[in-house]
């Protein structure tokens, strides 16, 4: 087999892995008890309330130069601000003062 064919085959395999991972990252949300999540896919509870950064870690498949699976690596989520829906009590804080008369 020609070297070029090997390269093409490796690329196709890599694309297949990536496509599979992307497809698995967004499962259909369960209709019951939907949890508000950020754009990064993590719930508000995974975000630091002070800095808004996400401290969840993502498990990535690692591959060596030959495209063979070489274990998992954990990388921090790159999210820097929670952009998903927030609980009502956090967004809407009326603080209605009674009339002072
Ligand atoms: Zn995140
Ligand atoms: Zn986030």
Is 71 inside any structural domain?
Answer: yes
Output the CA 86–ligand 2 centroid distance in Å: 12
82 confidence band (pLDDT: 50, 70, 90) = very high
Is 98 inside any structural domain?
Answer: no
Is 83 inside any structural domain?
Answer: yes
Is 10 inside any structural domain?
Answer: no
Is 69 inside any structural domain?
Answer: yes
| Cα distance between residue 31 and residue 25, in whole Å | 17
Is 72 inside any structural domain?
Answer: yes
Work out how many domains the chain is built from and give that number: 1
Is 13 inside any structural domain?
Answer: no
pLDDT of residue 67: 95
| Cα distance between residue 36 and residue 85, in whole Å | 6
43, pLDDT greater than 80: yes
Is 9 inside any structural domain?
Answer: no
Return the higher-pLDDT residue of 4 and 47: 47
pLDDT of residue 16: 72
Of 70, 58, 63, which is closest to residue 14 (Cα–Cα)? 63
Mean pLDDT value of segment 6-34: 69
Which ligand is nearest to the Cα of residue 56, counting in written order? 1
Angle formed at CA 31 by CA 78 and CA 58, multiple of 5 degrees:
20
Which ligand is nearest to the Cα of residue 58, counting in written order? 1
Mean pLDDT value of segment 41-52: 91
Task: Among 2-11, 15-24, 53-62, name the one with the lowest average pLDDT.
Answer: 15-24
pLDDT of residue 8: 76
Note down the domain range covering 70.
35-92
């Amino acid at each position: 087999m020609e070297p070029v064919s090997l390269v093409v085959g490796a690329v196709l395999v890599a694309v297949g892995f990536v496509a599979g991972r992307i497809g698995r990252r967004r499962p259909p949300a369960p209709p019951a008890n939907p949890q508000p999540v950020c754009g990064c896919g993590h719930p508000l509870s995974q975000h630091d309330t002070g800095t808004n950064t996400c401290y969840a870690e993502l498990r990535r498949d690692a591959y060596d130069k030959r495209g063979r699976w070489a274990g998992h690596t954990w990388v921090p989520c790159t999210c820097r601000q929670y952009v998903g829906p927030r609980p009502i009590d956090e967004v809407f804080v009326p603080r209605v003062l009674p009339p002072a008369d």
